[in-house]
Structure 1
Amino acid sequence: MIHPPVPVNEKERLKALHQLNILDTDPEEEFDNITELASYICGMPISMITLVDETKQWFKSKIGTEMCDSGRDISFCSHAILEPENFMEVKDTHKDERFKDNPFVNAGKDSIRYYAGVPLVNGTGMALGTLCVIDTKVNKLNKRQIKALKALAKQVEALFEARHKNYLLEEARQDLDDHNTLLKDFAGVVSHDMKMPLAHMVLTADVIKKKYGDLLGEEGIKYLDQLKKSGLNLSDYITGILNHYESEKIATSALEEIDLHNLLEDIIDLLGIEEDCEINFPKKNVNIKVNRSALEQILLNLISNSLKYNDKEKIIIDIDFKETPKFYTFTIQDNGIGIRQEEQKNIFKLFSTLSVIDRKGNKGHGIGLSTVKKLVTNLGGTVKFESELEKGTKFTFTVQAT
């Protein structure tokens, strides 16, 4: 018996093999289908997909044998991978110097008497193992069978490549998830740490204005008002960031049964509306079972935008609701300034802002609608809108009904 030598590119070959992350994994139907086809097409009782590691050959799939692996030094496949570009066929192992004293060749009635293997090669030319067929009697393959076995080997290689790409994608996704988690934690910590100093800044501006306003004069008062306005804007911005990154937590809150009109009234109270405004609720009040926190955040953002981005003397907001067995559908329509056509494709992107200022002269932060979409998606729904400049906007969103 001749032991197989180590390939000249063994270090690189083993690295490529281990990058597949396939050794000692569970059976998979895609691979088992190929070994079954190989056995059937070649008329052989045994077929295997083998991978040659440092010390052993391991079978990713096998038909006709109960073995899980064997020593590399006595494996037929360790010889086959020495010539990655060639098909290896041993018609009678008793007449081949490499194998005639092999323990598998002298194992009684289950002895290997015939072997044919196609090396499985990756994209860089590394032979990782073989697709092989085995018989307990002298045999040979015809040209059509050899061609079919090679074609099946190509399919195994394609599965290996797809598996490797999926692993890399999963690894990249995990890295992105880890970085996203770090970013969320950072944003949360920084935002919380900034809220208190900002509150003190706004309060201090009010105190200075009240106690020393006469001394400061009109110009000094103007600077204090600007300082307070900037502090409040930054505080709103930070609140928006916190709401955006905490939206996933909100979306996992427990479901509860709510009165829709009561929920809307609570939201209107939170907004503290001072403008001349008419808000029309759905004609029919209903009780629905939903994630109250998430739905409240969605409606709060949309109704708030209808108030802010409105230049009409009287603001009109129509809220409607429809129910199907699978979804609750909400619409919020206003008579506001509308959204420019060229800006409509980006309104749900985080930090994407419109080129307009709101009713109080402030520019948006581009967080609210991104949060709305994130919450709606987490609730199993979709959100869309229609808008016409100077005439208004209608948002329609769904959430899964229970």
Structure 2
Amino acid sequence: MSRDSQLLEYGLPHLEPLTVQTGPGTPDTLGQLQKLLVLATSSTGIPFGAVNIITADRQHHVAALGIDPGVCSLEDSMCASVFLRGETTVVPDASRDPLFRDHPFVTGDVASIRFYASVPLTTAAGFVLGSLCVFSPEPARLSPDQKTALEIIASQVVEVFELQHHARMLARSLDEARNSNALLESFAGRISHDLRTPLTSVIGFSELGEMRNPAEAEDFRIIGRTSRRMLAMVDDILSFSRIGGVLRPCQVSLSALVQEVEEDLAFGFKESGAEIRVSDAALHADAEQLRILLQNLIQNAVAYRRLDVPPRIQVTAEAVPDGVAVHVRDNGKGIPAGERINVTDPLVRLHRADDPPGFGLGLATCVRIAQAHGGRLEIGSAPGGGTTVSVILPALALPGSAPTTATADAG
């Protein structure tokens, strides 16, 4: 890779702004460089300073103190003569130095620099970006402590550029992830359409065959059930591909979301005798995706219940050090500790006696929703048996002070 290509990876030499904001940590590179230059000149007592990025044919003052930032050719650059030496250069009087005494920045043709000190800006990988230099029209000297301070400041300048580099890579990764998600959703949509049409036809013909051929009705029923399961899987995969995209956060009530879930799952609640209790909380999240998350967790709590034990589900929220944790606890079969990591992978599910059919996308969908919010999902046990699924979401509002209780009709 050429020198200029490596510099471009850092957004240099022009300190190009990031095309994607990566959050509050997006670096103010120029502002930090200016502060470091102030520190460099004040700690050395030298009035002028510059951070120079050196390309294949130019020196760029990306930050300067006491002079106007500019660009010059390598022939007119003092730093270009020494920045690849790998060590700090200190020249008490450039007019007496063999390397610089005929230089236009020393002779008066461009400037009349006398004192000059330069520290190479070397990355951890050994690539030299340019130099940090301080200079003065008067001869001067640096004490050992001042020289050390200048070298430490130069290392901090490199850290600023590394932060810019990492931010650019993160912005690029975010762009790639968004493009990938868009392609995934488009692909899943096309596949869903292409599969849905023939599956719907198969289901229709199986129902027709069941009516016209009583002797072979069971065979046609098997074909129909299998096709419906496949159609359900197509719908689940399409839904999974769409989760975690653009968020539309707003203020939502945990109790109100749970009530919506109860209404959607009313039939299953009545059959199972399920009861759900929820302590209200004011949350800041994408309402639709959070409702899908809660629906998956509550539906799992009902589906994976213990035989002859009505499901009892508790939904709460509490403040934690890194945000707010929403807990969904049940008294069902539970998930063995050794399986808690695996069951969050797409299309992975436990195979236990009396477990209902499914495709292993419910918990995987919840993980994607949590991650889209910048959070995470954790699985643990519940008091007295069962499962506790905790979704930790950062920067959400604290739980409300007035808990409410919602109880499903046990029918």
Contact 2:62/2:69, CA 8 A, preserved across alignment: no
Secondary structure, aligned partner of 1:111: coil
2:299 corresponds to = 304
Identity, in percent, stands at 22
Counterpart residue identity of residue 310, structure 2 = I
Match for residue 23 of structure 1 among 13, 16, 19: 13
The correspondence of residues 85-100 of structure 1 with structure 2, limited to 5 A, is: 85-96=86-97, 99-100=100-101
Contact 2:250/2:284, CA 8 A, preserved across alignment: no
Secondary structure, aligned partner of 1:354: coil
2:366 corresponds to = 372
CA distance, structure 1, for counterparts of residue 3 and residue 166 of structure 2: 18
CA distance, structure 2, for counterparts of residue 73 and residue 94 of structure 1: 17
Counterpart residue identity of residue 129, structure 1 = G
Secondary structure, aligned partner of 1:316: coil
CA distance, structure 2, for counterparts of residue 285 and residue 35 of structure 1: 53
**Partner deviation per Cα, 1:99-130 (whole Å, 9 max, x = no partner):** 44544335599732222212333456554322
CA distance, structure 2, for counterparts of residue 30 and residue 375 of structure 1: 36
Secondary structure, aligned partner of 1:146: helix
Secondary structure, aligned partner of 2:135: strand
2:157 corresponds to = 156
2:333 corresponds to = 337
Counterpart residue identity of residue 275, structure 2 = N
**Partner deviation per Cα, 1:290-339 (whole Å, 9 max, x = no partner):** 86644542343233323433451x451224455779979564524x4332
> Kindly tell me: are residues 315 and 222 of structure 1, through their superposed partners in 2, closer, same or farther at Cα, counting changes over 3 Å?
farther
Counterpart residue identity of residue 31, structure 1 = L
> Kindly tell me: are residues 84 and 169 of structure 1, through their superposed partners in 2, closer, same or farther at Cα, counting changes over 3 Å?
farther
CA distance, structure 1, for counterparts of residue 58 and residue 306 of structure 2: 77
Secondary structure, aligned partner of 1:58: strand
CA distance, structure 1, for counterparts of residue 37 and residue 386 of structure 2: 64
1:171 corresponds to = 172
Secondary structure, aligned partner of 2:60: strand
Match for residue 226 of structure 1 among 211, 214, 222: 222
CA distance, structure 2, for counterparts of residue 56 and residue 322 of structure 1: 62
CA distance, structure 2, for counterparts of residue 396 and residue 118 of structure 1: 51
Secondary structure, aligned partner of 1:61: strand
TM-score, normalised relative to structure 2: 0.75
1:212 corresponds to = 213
CA distance, structure 2, for counterparts of residue 261 and residue 51 of structure 1: 57
CA distance, structure 1, for counterparts of residue 29 and residue 380 of structure 2: 51
Report the Cα offset of residue 134 of structure 1: 0.5
Q: Is residue 353 from structure 1 mapped to residue 343 from structure 2 by the alignment?
A: no
> Kindly tell me: are residues 68 and 394 of structure 1, through their superposed partners in 2, closer, same or farther at Cα, counting changes over 3 Å?
same
The correspondence of residues 110-125 of structure 1 with structure 2, limited to 5 A, is: 111-123=112-124, 125=126
CA distance, structure 1, for counterparts of residue 13 and residue 40 of structure 2: 21
CA distance, structure 2, for counterparts of residue 161 and residue 385 of structure 1: 37
CA distance, structure 1, for counterparts of residue 282 and residue 159 of structure 2: 54
Report the Cα offset of residue 368 of structure 1: 0.8
TM-score, normalised relative to structure 1: 0.76
> Kindly tell me: are residues 194 and 348 of structure 1, through their superposed partners in 2, closer, same or farther at Cα, counting changes over 3 Å?
same
CA distance, structure 2, for counterparts of residue 283 and residue 123 of structure 1: 53
Report the Cα offset of residue 46 of structure 1: 0.9
Secondary structure, aligned partner of 2:226: helix
Contact 2:248/2:285, CA 8 A, preserved across alignment: no
2:77 corresponds to = 75
1:267 corresponds to = 264
> Kindly tell me: are residues 126 and 84 of structure 1, through their superposed partners in 2, closer, same or farther at Cα, counting changes over 3 Å?
farther
> Kindly tell me: are residues 205 and 307 of structure 1, through their superposed partners in 2, closer, same or farther at Cα, counting changes over 3 Å?
farther
Report the Cα offset of residue 74 of structure 1: 1.4
Report the Cα offset of residue 135 of structure 1: 0.8
CA distance, structure 2, for counterparts of residue 19 and residue 274 of structure 1: 56
2:190 corresponds to = 189
Report the Cα offset of residue 35 of structure 1: 2.2
Report the Cα offset of residue 174 of structure 1: 3.4
Instruction: Provide the aligned C-alpha RMSD in A.
Output: 4.1
Counterpart residue identity of residue 66, structure 1 = D
Any gaps of 5 or more consecutive residues in structure 1? 1-10
CA distance, structure 2, for counterparts of residue 147 and residue 284 of structure 1: 59
Counterpart residue identity of residue 135, structure 2 = I
1:134 corresponds to = 135
Secondary structure, aligned partner of 2:131: strand
CA distance, structure 2, for counterparts of residue 170 and residue 285 of structure 1: 37
Secondary structure, aligned partner of 1:36: helix
Aligned residues: 380
> Kindly tell me: are residues 303 and 125 of structure 1, through their superposed partners in 2, closer, same or farther at Cα, counting changes over 3 Å?
closer
Match for residue 273 of structure 2 among 265, 278, 299: 278
Counterpart residue identity of residue 300, structure 2 = N
> Kindly tell me: are residues 275 and 230 of structure 1, through their superposed partners in 2, closer, same or farther at Cα, counting changes over 3 Å?
farther
1:317 corresponds to = 311
Report the Cα offset of residue 186 of structure 1: 1.2
Match for residue 241 of structure 2 among 245, 255, 259: 245
CA distance, structure 1, for counterparts of residue 286 and residue 55 of structure 2: 53
Higher relative contact order at CA 8 Å, sep ≥6: structure 1 or structure 2?
Answer: 2
Counterpart residue identity of residue 370, structure 1 = A
> Kindly tell me: are residues 358 and 227 of structure 1, through their superposed partners in 2, closer, same or farther at Cα, counting changes over 3 Å?
farther
Any gaps of 5 or more consecutive residues in structure 2? 16-27, 401-411
CA distance, structure 2, for counterparts of residue 109 and residue 285 of structure 1: 72
2:408 corresponds to = none
